[in-house]
């Protein structure tokens, strides 16, 4: 009896001890679990889904200040008194000089030195071009080559969305074959449409039926040519309406023989200069029958800041177009505020010269517009540029 009781007592104590320890462990585990659940709940409640980005609101006007919307034209139109002149420099081998510095040149206006505010190369200036094609009888034989070379030029120089070109054919009157467009395919199609249209009675070789084939005074040429009228109307009605930030140029394909213009050469030059249009003349035609008026073409080109070319064959013709393209892309811009502040519309003669002695020994040739017409107090606001076609 005594033996069994100690054993039972030990068993009872062991059971009680197990129950006591197990209860403590269970209580501690439950407490830890509750604490973990609480932390998890807290963490979930603090995580907020990220909202989708929204555009920033426009700043509101200050109290008492009314919002005002200006037309886009008024925002970008800024009056400036700076005079801009573009020029190119070539050496005796007609290689373009591309490393000139501002201190290498001097600019004078009517003989008075000017302070240059801007000097920079212009290699990416937008172009507004007009290709003028003489379709009179003197161009009958060379017209196909002219059209082909001009098409290649357009395909090479015209950058879509950046440059624009128009095509004008002329004899005694001018015809707009294609208005300004940035689409080179349209320009090429317009050039394809240009053709020599003989007048009534034309029998070939520049003769009209009934005209003696050999005569010093009665040799009647088929058709007439109005070069100066074509330049004047192109500068006035087409290129002057383009953006002021483009390089405006006329590519003139003719033999230089004007027979019926109402405008004089001087008037055509003046209108081109007022519109900041440079003329590049390509003297081409039938040199054996009609000759090339080199003097007239040089004058109209040089006095507008361009150059004249006189190709002898198709290779020379393509080379002329290549030089024009290089010149349009290899120019310098100088900008200055004239010391003469009079707004009198007068002609101001500009001269740019090399002052660097090392460059002077290279005898560089500078090509630029020889002057400009000053603004007038009565000068109207330029018309808005037309939309491209």
Measured from the Cβ of residue 121, the count of other Cβ atoms closer than 10 Å reads: 14
Q: Does the residue 351 lie in any domain?
A: no
Q: Does the residue 152 lie in any domain?
A: yes
Average pLDDT per consecutive 10 residues, the chain (389 residues; last block may be shorter): 51 53 49 47 38 37 38 39 92 90 97 96 91 89 92 93 95 93 96 80 52 37 80 96 92 94 96 96 82 94 95 93 92 95 93 95 93 79 44
In order of 32, 61, 290, 320, 363, the CA distances from 20 in angstroms are: 19, 75, 130, 111, 114
Q: Does the residue 18 lie in any domain?
A: no
Q: Does the residue 378 lie in any domain?
A: no
Which neighbouring-strand residues pair with 108? Answer: 113, 351
pTM exceeds 0.85 for this model:
no
CATH number of the domain to which 226 belongs: 3.40.50.410
pLDDT value at residue 42: 41
Sheet holding 347-354, edge to edge: 112-113, 105-109, 347-354, 371-373
pLDDT value at residue 287: 67
Q: Does the residue 325 lie in any domain?
A: yes
pLDDT value at residue 244: 85
Q: Does the residue 197 lie in any domain?
A: yes
Q: Does the residue 211 lie in any domain?
A: yes
In order of 1, 5, 11, 138, 377, the CA distances from 18 in angstroms are: 26, 20, 11, 126, 113
pLDDT value at residue 379: 53
pLDDT value at residue 254: 94
Domain range for 207 is 127-333
pLDDT value at residue 5: 56
In order of 25, 34, 37, 41, the CA distances from 31 in angstroms are: 10, 5, 10, 15
Output the CA torsion sign for 279, 282, 286, 291: positive
Among candidate residues 88, 89, 83, 80, the one with its CA nearest the CA of residue 109 = 83
Distance CA 272, CA 161 (A): 25
Q: Does the residue 307 lie in any domain?
A: yes
Counting the structural domains of the chain, the total is 1
């Amino acid at each position: 009896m005594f033996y069994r009781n100690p054993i039972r007592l030990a068993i009872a104590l062991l059971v009680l001890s197990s129950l006591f320890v197990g209860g403590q462990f269970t209580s501690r585990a439950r407490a830890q679990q509750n604490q973990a659940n609480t932390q998890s709940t807290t963490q979930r409640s603090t995580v907020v889904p990220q909202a989708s980005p929204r555009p920033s609101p426009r700043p509101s006007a200050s109290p008492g200040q009314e919002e005002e919307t200006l037309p886009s034209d008024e925002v970008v139109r800024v009056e400036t008194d700076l005079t801009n002149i573009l020029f190119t420099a070539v050496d005796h081998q007609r290689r373009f000089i591309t490393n000139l510095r501002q201190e290498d040149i001097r600019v004078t206006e009517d003989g008075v030195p000017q302070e240059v505010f801007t000097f920079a190369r212009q290699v990416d200036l937008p172009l507004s071009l007009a290709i003028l094609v003489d379709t009179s009888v003197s161009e009958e034989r060379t017209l196909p080559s002219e059209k082909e070379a001009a098409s290649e030029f357009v395909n090479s120089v015209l950058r879509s969305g950046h440059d624009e070109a128009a095509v004008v054919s002329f004899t005694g009157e001018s015809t707009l074959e294609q208005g300004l467009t940035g689409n080179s395919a349209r320009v090429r199609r317009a050039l394809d449409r240009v053709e020599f249209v003989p007048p009534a009675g034309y029998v070939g070789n520049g003769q009209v039926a009934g005209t003696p084939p050999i005569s010093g005074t009665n040799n009647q040429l088929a058709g007439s040519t109005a070069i100066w009228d074509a330049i004047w109307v192109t500068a006035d009605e087409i290129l002057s309406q383009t953006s002021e930030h483009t390089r405006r140029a006329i590519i003139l394909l003719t033999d230089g023989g004007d027979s019926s213009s109402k405008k004089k050469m001087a008037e055509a030059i003046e209108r081109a200069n007022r519109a900041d249009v440079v003329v590049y003349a390509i003297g081409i035609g039938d040199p054996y029958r009609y000759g090339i008026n080199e003097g007239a073409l040089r004058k109209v080109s040089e006095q507008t800041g361009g150059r004249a070319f006189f190709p002898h064959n198709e290779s020379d013709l393509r080379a002329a177009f290549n030089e024009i393209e290089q010149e349009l892309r290899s120019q310098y811009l100088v900008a200055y505020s004239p010391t003469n502040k009079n707004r009198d519309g007068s002609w101001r003669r500009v001269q740019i010269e090399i002052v660097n002695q090392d460059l002077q020994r290279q005898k560089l040739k500078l090509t630029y517009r020889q002057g400009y017409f000053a603004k007038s107090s009565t000068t109207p606001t330029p018309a808005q540029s037309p939309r491209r076609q």
